[in-house]
Amino acid sequence: MFSQYSLPYDFGKLEPHIDKLTMETHYTKHHAGYTNNLNAAVEKDSSLANKSIEQILGNLDSISDTNLRTAVRNNGGGFYNHNLYFSTIAPNGAKKPTGKLDESIKKDFGSLESLKDAMSKAALSRFGSGWAFLSVNKDGKLTVASYPNQDNPLMDKKGDKPILGIDVWEHAYYLKYKNLRGDYVKAFWDVVDWDAVGALFNKK
């Protein structure tokens, strides 16, 4: 059974950057839905039992039933991506990366501002629903890329591991920001917890 990342703060705590109703709906409806649907899908294929979500998303081809494969791709992606999202945003999180993550950002992007620009561009240029991810590739280099729907770098099987993701589905921002995705992306940077991102980087 896969379970949602347990949010350690109240839904309203990210205001004014991300509003309470958006957080509550996103977590209790969208993320919960992906999680429940993933669990239901996994029960239908015994070869998926006891596998980690990373193993499942990195081996979607092994699911022979095409409908089931699509269900696992969409809901497993949704489950994983939202666990990443909710575990790397927080009220009063670390405002800047430190240590090895800080060094790598400077080496691979020049500065934190350049990294934010690259990721914001990826988020804004995604047509329709999807994500922008910061990942560590197999050589330890940081890379930015955008993906449609609930896809993510694990599905490419290149060894990229996501450590931060901006959800640019409209459900992530429409109640407060309406069509202004750019304003939401700017506000997202105010709630990133760089210590949480750094912990994922150090685990890579």
Residues that bind Mn ion (CB under 5 A): 167, 169, 172
Side chain identity at residue 47, one-letter code: S
User: Which residue's CB is nearer to Mn ion, number 109 or number 169?
Assistant: 169
User: Which residue's CB is nearer to Mn ion, number 45 or number 170?
Assistant: 170
User: Which residue's CB is nearer to Mn ion, number 63 or number 123?
Assistant: 123
For residue 147, count other CB atoms closer than 10 A to its CB: 20
Instruction: Quote the least distance from Cβ 202 to Mn ion, whole Å.
Output: 26
141 φ, ψ (degrees, to nearest 5): -90, 145
Closest residue to bound Mn ion by CB: 167
The kind and range of the H/E element at 85 are helix 66-87
User: Which residue's CB is nearer to Mn ion, number 133 or number 169?
Assistant: 169
Instruction: Quote the least distance from Cβ 75 to Mn ion, whole Å.
Output: 12
For 115, the token pair is 């990294």
Task: Please report the sign of the dihedral spanned by the C-alpha atoms of residue 16, residue 94, residue 162, residue 200.
Answer: negative
Cα distances from 119 to residues 5, 114, 115, 195, in angstroms, run: 24, 9, 6, 18
User: Which residue's CB is nearer to Mn ion, number 109 or number 188?
Assistant: 188
Instruction: Quote the least distance from Cβ 184 to Mn ion, whole Å.
Output: 12
Q: What is the dihedral of CA 167, 173, 178, 181, to 10 degrees?
A: -40
Instruction: Quote the least distance from Cβ 71 to Mn ion, whole Å.
Output: 17
Instruction: Quote the least distance from Cβ 55 to Mn ion, whole Å.
Output: 23
